[in-house]
Amino acid sequence: MELRGHLDLLLLGALAAVGPAHGYAVITALRERTDDAFDLPEGTVYPALHRLERDGLVVSQWSAEAARRRRVYRLTSVGLAALEVKSAQWEVFATGVQRVVQWAT
């Protein structure tokens, strides 16, 4: 499935749902929540998380709670606001697509 344009929404939504998490936990949460529909490679997720951090939508810090240090990401207030905007835009888009598909069948 093509994720272009939707990856940020998925990552922000996952972080909002699971709370602060390291990248692999975000990948796992998305895979489990979507019954394997979104099994994203690390090479897709980590650069996107770094970009979201540069844009101020998430912040990260090192955590040593596990056996090894991991970078844990969490939403900022700007990220939460962006999630709300992107979610509203997605609803409009998804509703439009559904109407066309229903009309065509």
pLDDT (average), residues 27-35: 97
Q: Which residue has the higher pLDDT, 104 or 20?
A: 20
Instruction: Tell me if the pTM is above 0.85.
Output: yes
Q: Where do the DSSP E strands lie in 1-105?
A: 21-22, 58-63, 70-75
Question: What is the maximal distance between C-alpha atoms in the chain?
Answer: 54
pLDDT, residue 1, reads 53
Domains of the chain: 7-104 (1.10.10.10)
- 68 three-state secondary structure: coil
Q: Which amino acid is at 33?
A: R
Convert the pLDDT of each residue in 34-92 to its tens digit. 999 999 999 999 999 999 999 999 999 998 777 788 899 999 999 999 999 999 999 99
Task: Extract the tokens encoding 71.
Answer: 């970078």
Q: Is the pLDDT of residue 2 over 60?
A: no
Q: Which two tokens stand for residue 102?
A: 């229903």
3-class secondary-structure state, position 72: strand
